[in-house]
Amino acid sequence: MRKTSLLILAIIILSLVFLNGEFSVWATIYRIIDTEGNTIRVTTEPQMKLSEEEAGCILSPIQPDIIPPISKDISQVKGIVFEDHNANGIKDIEEKGLSGILVSNGLTVTITDETGNYLLPREGDFIFITTPSNYISTTSWYKNLLEDNLHFGLSFAPDKDSKQFTFVQITDIHLDALEEHRIFFEKALSEINKINPAFVIATGDLVFEAESATISQAKEWYNIYSDSIKNLDMPVFNMVGNHDVVGICYKKDISNEPGYNKEMYQDYFGPAYYSFDWGLYHCIVLDPNEFLDGNQFYKIPDYQVEWLRKNLSYREGEPLLVFFHEPTISWENRAEVLNLLNQHSTKMFSGHWHMDILLDSQGIPEQVTAALCGEWWRGDCFDGKPCGYRIVQVEGNNIFSFYKEIGADRQINIIAPGPLLDGIAEVTAQIYTQYGPLEEVRYQIDQGNIIPMKIRKEKLWNTATVMWDSTQAKAGYHTLMVQARDKEGVFSKQMEVKVCKDEILALGEIIPHFNSYQGHIMKVKGKIKVAVVEELYTSEKSTFINGALIVKDETGSGMILIGEYNTQYLPDLDRGKIITAKVIPIKYLWKSIERKHKLYIALYTFKLPRGFIIRSKLKPKGVHLLWLIDYENVTEGGSL
């Protein structure tokens, strides 16, 4: 009679579980979960039937006092994140779930419970996890929402959870079907493999000009890029750039074809924004690329801001590494996003400009990295930097980086001082050599004494520093040379600097000393003589424009290029007004300039700055420009 009563009681308990999907127990029992995450059977035996194993079911233990989040609501998705001890991508019987793992559908974020289970609204396109700093994924870190199996496996990797690690940023690859471009890219990947970073992050514009391409053409480029990065020996994190969206500017409407807009990127690489952990850092990938009414603009949309806010709520106090394609200056809602990121210790990395510039973005360092393809495979980047990539060394809270030229076995980067200086200044040079160790580094001003510099040895490069009292030099231009010696001999780098007390650069000095100022953020002031501005797009809050200003001071004139700038903060740019602005002197090759802009140049030939057009045997070769990145004031005209 007692055995019969116990059997009846067990049947009642199991029936309640099967019918209601919720229970509390004080003994180890197991759920048999099908590939859709549904509980099909509850048992006290830690084994499955043969038919269940063949159907891909998993056995999940239910711990005491835990009510599993089982839902009959088809508007929700559920799954488990488990510790995959044998790294086979399948949850075996003895493998337990992992708690506290961030899981998202791209709209909201949750964490797994004590048994590794999660529950999310059935919204968005993907379910994806934030891989913790001490684990690696044994399954894909993201899954399409339509997949049957929404479970994620992780394998313990304590070596990954280090305060010191190196990563490489590549950006603006613009890979196409030309064999020479593929070979050059693979040369860069071979170099990166020798560096052996913890991971590589590609900050957008992976392929050529997919926005103007057909679906089949874009797919060919995506295949070439995707196949190429398989040669890397470390994880690669990708993100979408403005040229990675497909077909939005094609001459015909192809919006109904599979792969249109960001769909192709998502087919190859998954979510366009996501997060992962490495060492002490929570790493965020953002997607500012928006498209509306036939116009492309840059903004972190509201739903992504809310995702970011929810994501960061689980990482309070943790330092951030944040990656995206377009610099924040171009974002319509820049202040809103930066306010969120400013609540953490944050470093940001972007690309897009084909220049190597360190920005101060509302107190957050933002490193804009030059393009791997240079100026669209035509030559060096706009700031004169050769094709390359960035090596980043993380040492706890300190982050150091080095822009590496592809193919260079010895390289010196003089990172301080800037072109204009006054008083005592620090001379800082980064030295890379494959023929180490570095024996000495010295510097020289003009033909003066050669003075030793203090060397700090880094993992992949060395940094040499010294203090220079420029008050001992005459006002005007001087040559600063840094000379290094390794076991192969001496190599050097030099730059021209101007000793002066002025913060504002005279316009007439830029072109004669262009190599001194190219690629540096400089301040200029001048009266607007010509203003050619065209409206690109007007959103609810902002107007985006392209255009150019010809400005003049007492010494000469210059052309300021306006591009991707949010004009809601700019007053009217009328002829006769005086503008004070921060600009970056850059060079554009003539063949990179659009036909309509060449027509503008022809129209204003007699008003262009002297030396604006770079010529070779009377043929235009390029132009000298000032890229506008910020402004301080625009006032009514008067005498300068």
Q: What is the CATH number of the domain that holds 480?
A: 2.60.40.650
The answer to whether position 414 is within a domain reads: no
Question: Does the pLDDT of residue 586 top 70, yes or no?
Answer: yes
- Are 326 and 198 part of one and the same domain? yes
16 falls within a domain: yes
Least confident of 17-26, 389-398, 408-417: 17-26
Quick: pLDDT tens for 420-466. 999 999 999 999 999 989 999 999 999 999 999 999 988 899 999 99
Are residue 44 and residue 137 in the same domain, yes or no? Answer: yes
Same domain for 293 and 218, yes or no, is: yes
Whether 489 and 516 share a structural domain:
no
Indicate if 253 and 274 belong to the same structural domain.
yes
For tokens 């196949």, what's the residue?
227
Q: What's the total number of domains in the chain?
A: 4
In a domain, 312, yes or no: yes
DSSP string, 296-351: EEE---HHHHHHHHHHHHTSTT--EEEE-SS-GGG-TTHHHHHHHHTTS-EEEEE-
Domain boundary among the residues 354, 383, 409 is at 409
201 and 230 co-located in one domain:
yes
Say if residue 249 is in the same domain as residue 338. yes
Token pair recorded at residue 96: 């337990």
Domain boundary residue among 474, 499, 524? 499
Other Cβ atoms less than 10 A from the Cβ of 346: the count is 21
In this prediction, residue 51 carries a pLDDT of 63
Q: Could you give the count of Cα atoms lying within 13 Å of 174 in the half-sphere of its Cβ?
A: 20
Same domain, 335 and 241: yes
Give me the residues paired with residue 60 across strands: 31
Give domain status of residue 415, yes or no: no
Cα–Cα distance between 538 and 297 in angstroms, integer? Answer: 10
Give the max Cα distance, the chain: 110
Q: Give the phi and the psi of residue 214 in degrees, each rounded to 5.
A: -75, 165
For residue 277, is it within any domain?
A: yes
Both 546 and 435 in one domain: the answer is: no
Answer yes or no: is 6 within a domain: yes
Residue 570 confidence (pLDDT): 61
Q: What is the mean pLDDT of residues 497-518?
A: 96
In the sheet that 274-278 helps form, which strands lie side by side, from edge to edge?
Answer: 274-278, 281-285, 320-323, 346-350, 364-368, 357-361
pTM of the model: 0.87
184 with 104, same domain: the answer is no
The residue segments making up the domain with residue 85 are 2-156
Query: Position of tokens 């009959």?
Result: 72
Does residue 504 sit within a domain?
Answer: no
Residues of the chain above pLDDT 70, percent: 87
Instruction: Identify whether residues 486 and 556 lie together within a single domain.
Output: no
Q: What is the CATH number of the domain that holds 299?
A: 3.60.21.10
Could you report how far apart the first and last alpha carbons of the chain are, in Å? 107
Residues 328 and 205 reside in one and the same domain: yes
Q: Among the three residues 374, 409, 444, which one is the final residue of a domain in this structure?
A: 409
Mean pLDDT of 533-547: 74
Cα distance between residue 535 and residue 177, in whole Å = 34
Res. 132 pLDDT band, cuts 50 70 90 = very high
Residue 310 belongs to some domain of the structure: yes
Taking residues 7-35, what's their average pLDDT?
Answer: 45
CATH of the domain at 585: 2.40.50.140
